[in-house]
Each structure stands twice: as structure tokens, then as C-alpha cells.
Structure 1
């Protein structure tokens, strides 16, 4: 997608329903969507399968733990619904609080790089896409709340690890420029790596079909965005002085560590909300278990960028 509706398979009723969900929730007067698809056809509600889980159980950090296995089906269903809400919130948090500010810096040429009109247009197109992605995941969470009849409020969950670590890094920044470089680095990590995060469930047919289609559609767009973000930060890097390059490289590494971390705060919140018996001990067990690896193992695109940049930092 380049500044319009996400690319999708019009013959796939589930993907088409996700797109119609975007279109229906957007004011008709908006110029950005005047090439929208027709609104007839099945809706997301029509295609929601009450018998399917909202999130893959295999993605839970405590899957297979005895405390989880002992829970009844109703509690497990609620935890899986919460997990989907948390997944969407993580994506939205990153898009809104990290990626969009980073693209904004590029659009304003905050580092004096001298981007061409074409370069700035690519940035704006990516920013438009990010708003569609936010809306897609917002709709997906709303669908789950509506169909399950559960409140599942976003406000009950903490900000994602990436957002929290980004805020902490900004608070440590010694200057406005260092803060801007930090935001650019975290945004680049997110844009070049979120496709891998989406891939974790994009092809999982065990979960709710509408949810799976939402993630798959988002992933297609991010494959294009990653290259935009990577090329833009390389252009910025080429114009930086040695001190700025060190700040950027360190922030990239910090961003990778944040993006690949298991978000213990979110899982602790969900376990607490649902009052899972032995929940805190279960989380401690899985955190201490060396056999349970991080869900996302690396950010190889950032590793390639750092190798390209040489010995900075």
C-alpha cells in the first residue's frame, strides 16, 4: 500500500471484510479514500467465528505451564481474548508513539539531510499507511469486545515495552538532537522489524480468521515500509558527525533490545485482571526458564544496518 487502502485479495471474503471495516468507519468526505471498495458483502461480524480462539495459545509465554493447563475453558478464552487486545494495543502504541513521530522527523528533515520531494512523498505515504494500520487493529479489538461481550479495556494494560523504553531513552537524552536521533532509531527498529512480529501469527490458521487476515494485510504493507525506513536512516547517517553516529547506533541497539523483549508487565496485568490462581508464580517460573526463549529472536535488518554503518558506537 502506498498512501491508500491496504493491498488485499478481493476474492478472499475475510480479507475483503477487513477492508470494508476500514472503509465503513471512515467519513465519506475524506479524499484519501475516494477509491474505496464497494461496501456490499460480508462484514467482519458476519465472519467472526465464536468457536475459534482470538489468539494462538502457542504465543502465550506460559503455554504448557501446569497453572495454565489447569484453567477452565472460559478463563482460558478470556485470557486469549485479552492477549489479542494486548497484541493490537502493542501494534497501535508502536505505530502512534514511536513510528509516526520518527517519520515526522524525516518529513520535516530534522537532521538537515536534504531529502528530495520523492523521498518526502515516500515518508508521507508511509505515515498515511500507519494510520490505516492503527484503524485496522482498533477495529479488530472492537470486534472482539463486541462479539465476546467483554469489556477488555485497553486502559487496563500498560504501554508496550518498546514505548516504555523509548520514553525512558528520551528522558536520558542529553539534548534535543539526541532525543530526535533516539526516536529515529526506535522508529527504524520498529519499521524494519514489525513485519517479523506480525509474521508470528499472520499465517496461523488456528485463530479467528478475521484476526489472522488483519495481521496478514498489515504485514504486506510493512514489507515495503521496512525498506523505506532503512534507506532513509542510511541517508541521515551519511550526513551525521561522529558523535551523532554514536548516539544513533547506541539507540538502535537499545531499540532492538526493547523490541525483542518479552513484555512481562502486560502479561502480569492480564494475569492480575483475571485473577489466575498461582498466576504470579507461573510468570516467575517462565521468566526463569532458560528453555523459554524470547518470542522474537532478533532484528536482522537492524543488524545489517549497523554493519553497513561500520564501527559507530
Structure 2
């Protein structure tokens, strides 16, 4: 089980004091920067603009897709936008907010300070607002595009995390897996949102929805890196090895191309040869690590001493994150 005891490690007193100061500043800045404090976005629609970027489709170069009529391509792009929003909701509700609750309940070593608790409370408000924001955008798209009945299944990112948790009988280990997945997700989600938040090709309301979300997530990334440092500092040597092991895995989970979800959506859209196209996509691999800049994860792991042991380095190498 995880305890609140651990050895003195490389992250010295000065480093931890700096991290606490950063948390205090992040918490204090929330009333000024949080998008939930801003005026609500006003929905509107622009004729002739699509809902999603074709460059984000995993099958954009496949002949089956390229030969499709424009109307079907447009419906696929709308489904892609709904899928994108649904993944955002699942990240917030299945990964990040449960982790925040664990921290608030005092079950996470090193994360019981006032600054940690305040910043986490504010983060939960942010995340719930993000869910409201993207759900509003999805309802608008479903209504205007006639996709009210489109069903989006669970994403592999969430499924992989839950399967990994099910493999452990220790509640502390399960919380650690959830926390590691939240840290990785909060570091990567800003980049995940980047292309849509700046695109002038898609519906402006969609772009502004993503931009508002990204504004908050750019603060959540350093916040969760700080939480990871404080958490790691309070772990025993064996627990730190476990944390290094589980921290590497969500990077690959986040890079999953979610081809199972796409297959479900394409079937619902009556896309011809959906199975054949997705089967050919699988030949290129389920995950695409080249689409992620995971250098921040590696750097963070190095800075907080997680890669000091050979076992931890093996964990990162096994996932293809270091040589």
C-alpha cells in the first residue's frame, strides 16, 4: 500500500519549496485566468465550413476515404468533432476528476498541503466547465448535422487505464495508475487541442470552444507536473519504481489512434468498406508515438529522479520513450 513515508531523494528541499510556491501562484491566479469566469461563448453556425480537420483523420490517405462523395466526407468530419469532444469528456470525467477526488480525500502521499488542495479544487471546477462547454458544442453539431443518434463508445485511453487498474488488488496502486494517467493526459491535452484551437478552416464556434479549453489546460500541465514531483518525493524506493513503470504506459495509451471507435462510427454512418479501411490502418500500428512530443514526460521523470534506477529506465525504454 502507498504510505506517506519515503526517503530523502534528489528533489531537495529547495526544489520542493519552489514547487510549493508554484502551486500557490497557480491557485492564486485562477480567478483571473479561468475560462469559467469568462462570458459564455455564444453558439453560431457558418455555412460552408466543416466541423473538424481532415488532417486529424487516421485514414485521411486511404483510397476508400479519398473516393467518398463530399457529403459523406462532411458527415465523417462532423463525427470526428463529436468523437473529439467525447474523448475530452471521458478524459475529464474518467481520469482527471477522479484523481482530483483522490487528492482531496487525502489518499495521495505528498499532496495534502493547502496549495495542492486549493489548486486541485480549482482544477475540478475548470474540468466540469470544460465538459459543459464541449457538450454544448456537441449538442449543436448533432442537431445541425442530423447526428443525434450517433453513439460514441469508450476510448482505448480509458479502457487501457481501467484494465491496468483491474490487474492490481492494492487500492493505492490503482490510485497511482489513475494519477499517472491524469498527469500524462494533462501534459498532452494542450497539444491535442492545439491544431483545432487555431484553425480558420473549421466552424469558428468549434475553434473558440477548443481555444477556451486549451487556455486552462496550458496551466494544468505545469500544475500536474508539480503534483507528480511532490507525490514522487513521498514514495518509497519500490513505490517510485512502480510509479515510473505506470507513468510510461499512458503515453502510449494517449497516442492510441482509437481505430475501434472510428470503426464503430463509420459503421453507423454506413461508410462502405469501413472494416477493410480500418483493417488496413491497423497495419500501421494501433498507436502513433510520432504524433506526440513526449519529451516533457521524459524530462519530468528525469528531474524528479524516476529514471535513476535501471528498472525505471527499462520501463520507459520498453514503451519506446528512451533508447
Q: TM-score range by the shorter chain?
A: 0.7 to 0.9
Tell me what 2:77 maps to. Answer: 80
Q: Is the 8 A contact 1:53 1:206 kept in 2?
A: yes
Q: CA deviation at 1:6?
A: 4.0
- The Cα offsets for residues 233-255 of structure 1, whole Å up to 9 and x where unpaired, read as 11010010112112211111111
Tell me what 1:131 maps to. Answer: 128
Q: What pairs up with 1:1-313 in 2 under 5 angstroms?
A: 2=30, 6-7=34-35, 19-21=39-41, 43-44=42-43, 47-113=44-110, 115-153=112-150, 156-289=151-284, 293=288, 296-308=291-303, 309=305, 310-312=307-309, 313=312
Q: CA deviation at 1:152?
A: 4.3
Q: Is the 8 A contact 1:6 1:218 kept in 2?
A: no
Distance 1:200 1:161, change over 3 A: farther
Distance 1:107 1:139, change over 3 A: same
Q: CA deviation at 1:278?
A: 1.6
How far apart are the structure 1 equivalents of 2:289 and 2:138? 25
Q: CA deviation at 1:108?
A: 2.2
Q: Could you state the TM-score of these two structures normalised by the residue count of structure 1?
A: 0.83
Q: How many residues are paired up?
A: 279
Secondary structure class of the residue paired with 2:180:
helix
- The Cα offsets for residues 72-119 of structure 1, whole Å up to 9 and x where unpaired, read as 122111111111100000010010000111112222221332632122
How far apart are the structure 2 equivalents of 1:88 and 1:4? 26
Q: Is the 8 A contact 1:197 1:296 kept in 2?
A: no
Q: CA deviation at 1:194?
A: 0.7
Q: CA deviation at 1:279?
A: 1.7
How far apart are the structure 2 equivalents of 1:229 and 1:297? 18
Can you give the 5+ residue segments of structure 2 that lack an aligned partner in the other structure?
1-28, 313-323
Secondary structure class of the residue paired with 1:76:
helix
Q: CA deviation at 1:293?
A: 4.9
Q: Is the 8 A contact 2:102 2:175 kept in 1?
A: yes
CA RMSD in angstroms, aligned pairs only: 2.3
Distance 1:271 1:196, change over 3 A: same
Secondary structure class of the residue paired with 1:92:
helix
Q: Could you state the TM-score of these two structures normalised by the residue count of structure 2?
A: 0.80
How far apart are the structure 1 equivalents of 2:79 and 2:290? 18
Can you give the 5+ residue segments of structure 1 that lack an aligned partner in the other structure?
9-15, 22-42
Flag the structure with more relative contact order, 1 or 2, with Cα contacts below 8 A and sequence separation at least 6.
2
